[in-house]
């Protein structure tokens, strides 16, 4: 192979590596599933396991007693959830029902997301957090 072809091939390889590195630089929520471990500084109600998962631009999960779903958009570390739809079963425990309402309201107010030490954190404008761990 002549020198021009080697330089061209090397340029293609370096360009490919650079593009691959850029594509992997930002974390993505797509294809991930999480369980709530801390709700705005408080543990969640016993015998409930709020969850959240991300697939094909949609979000869904269990909000304590009901399931929910909707759309989400990410722009850097900013995240916004669209209108979330939920099933409407009553919770047997009033504390779980209150937690569910607060959880869904909190998702509506989330501004920032972050992956830190294997956990997913959501922050509202006041700095309150939801902390999730990966679902097993």
The residue-averaged pLDDT of 32-58 equals 90
pLDDT of amino acid 45: 86
Q: Detail the DSSP E strand segments found in the chain.
A: 33-39, 51-55, 58-62, 67-75, 78-81, 85-86, 110-116, 119-124, 129-134
Looking at domain 28-134, which of 1.10.150.120, 2.40.128.270, 2.60.40.10, 3.40.50.880 is its CATH number?
Answer: 2.40.128.270
Distance from C-alpha of 83 to C-alpha of 49, rounded to nearest angstrom? 22
Q: List, for residues 53-108, the tens digit of each pLDDT value.
A: 999 999 999 999 999 999 999 999 999 999 999 999 998 899 999 999 999 999 99
pTM: 0.77
Domain locations in the chain as residue ranges: 28-134
Q: Kindly give the pairing relationship between strand 110-116 and strand 119-124.
A: antiparallel
- Take residue 20 and report the two structure tokens written for it: 């691959």
> How many Å is the Cα radius of gyration of the chain?
20
């Amino acid at each position: 192979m002549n020198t021009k072809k080697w330089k061209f091939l090397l340029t293609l390889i370096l360009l490919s590596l650079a593009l691959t590195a850029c594509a992997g630089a930002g974390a993505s929520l797509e294809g991930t599933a999480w369980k709530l471990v801390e709700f705005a500084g408080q543990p969640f109600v016993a015998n409930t396991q709020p969850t959240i998962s991300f697939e094909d631009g949609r979000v869904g999960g269990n909000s304590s007693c009901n399931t929910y779903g909707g759309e989400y958009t990410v722009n850097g570390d900013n995240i916004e959830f669209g209108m979330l739809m939920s099933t409407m079963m009553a919770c047997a425990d009033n504390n779980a029902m209150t937690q569910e309402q607060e959880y869904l309201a909190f998702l509506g107010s989330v501004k920032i997301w972050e992956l830190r030490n294997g956990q997913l954190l959501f922050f509202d404008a006041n700095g309150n957090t939801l902390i999730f761990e990966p679902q097993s």
